[in-house]
Amino acid sequence: MKWTKWFLLAALVLVLSACAVDKEKTKSQKESEQTTEVTKVDSVEKEVVEEPIEVEKQEILYELNPANWTFKPTGDANPKAVLITIDDAPDKYAVEMATTLKELNAPAIFFVNGHFLETEKGKANLKAIYDMGFLIGNHTQTHANLKNSTEEQQQEEILKVNEIVEAVTGEKPNFFRAPFGVNTDFSRALVQREGMLLMNWTYGYDWEKQYMDAAKLTEIMLKTEYLTNGANLLMHDRKWTSEALKDIVEGLRAKGYDLIDPHTIKGIED
């Protein structure tokens, strides 16, 4: 019995020692796993944190002449070039016009009114135009005459459009055109602070009754005396303009004119 007692006691000691070792191993394993997990987290963090990607900015080729709203080369760019702009977008034909221009590889600025962007369809049309590569300009919220508006109203007309365009496209407008070409000291200063280049136009005809026809509009746009180097061409979101657009672009090129890419126009921050 005495030996049996000692044998049982020795066995108990061995069992307790083994448990202690296992417990120590478990603790060590947990610490190792935690260390491994931290290492993994650190590794993931290192993979996620990257240097900011620098977007390559296009070369500045043209600058605006505010005396007559034409464009002149800043260097060796072709002086025989014109800018196409489409106002009052996106009403009924802007997406169709953008598609036509895209197929012709013809750049342009689409100046938008905020009241066309209040519906989901309007926002979708804006996004479609932007996604085709066209720059968006600010043409005020309601197409109001700024000269007849208070400073508070002018601010609302301009800033509201900037906010919705940025919300839809992720980019604020770089250009501003006042309805009827009417600016005020207040609107000019506000546009400057917002980082937009203010411009009017050289010529346009599609709002005149005698040119509400595709063939007649095409003819006047190509034969007018105002078609000169750097001309700033004004057109609108209209049925007859949409129908004439392809012939106008091809006619301009046949006359030897390049089309100015708005991305290459010198802004107020360049």
Residues 20 and 97 in one domain: no
- Shared-domain flag, residues 233 and 99: yes
Q: Would you say residue 229 lies in a domain? A: yes
Same domain, 145 and 25: no
Number of separate domains in the chain: 2
Strand partners, 87: 236
Assess if residue 136 is contained within a domain.
yes
Could you list the pLDDT tens digit for every one of the 270 residues in the chain?
Answer: 444 444 444 444 444 454 444 444 444 444 444 444 433 434 333 333 334 334 456 899 999 999 999 999 999 999 999 999 999 999 999 999 999 999 999 999 999 999 999 999 999 999 999 999 999 999 999 999 999 999 999 999 999 999 999 999 999 999 999 999 999 999 999 999 999 999 999 999 999 999 999 999 999 999 999 999 999 999 999 999 999 999 999 999 999 999 999 999 999 876
Paired tokens of 182 = 């009417």
Q: Specify the pLDDT at position 270.
A: 67
Q: Which two tokens stand for residue 41?
A: 């987290």
Whether 57 is in a domain gets the answer no
- Assess if residue 195 is contained within a domain: yes
Q: Which domain holds residue 46?
A: 1-50
270, part of any domain: no
Burial class (CB in 10 A: 0-12, 13-18, 19+), 22: exposed
Is 56 part of a structural domain of the chain? no
Looking at the structure, tell me whether residues 236 and 125 fall in a common domain: yes
Same-domain pairing of 19 and 80 = no
- 95 domain residue, yes or no: yes
Specify if 12 maps to a domain.
yes
Strand partners, 85: 109, 234
In this predicted structure, what is the pLDDT of residue 57?
67
d(CA 65, CA 107) in angstroms, rounded, equals: 20
CA 258, 261, 64, 155 torsion: positive or negative?
positive
Same domain, 231 and 175: yes
Together in a domain, 88 and 159: yes
Q: Residue 245's domain is classified under what CATH number?
A: 3.20.20.370
Angle at 116 between CA 169 and CA 197, to 5 degrees: 55
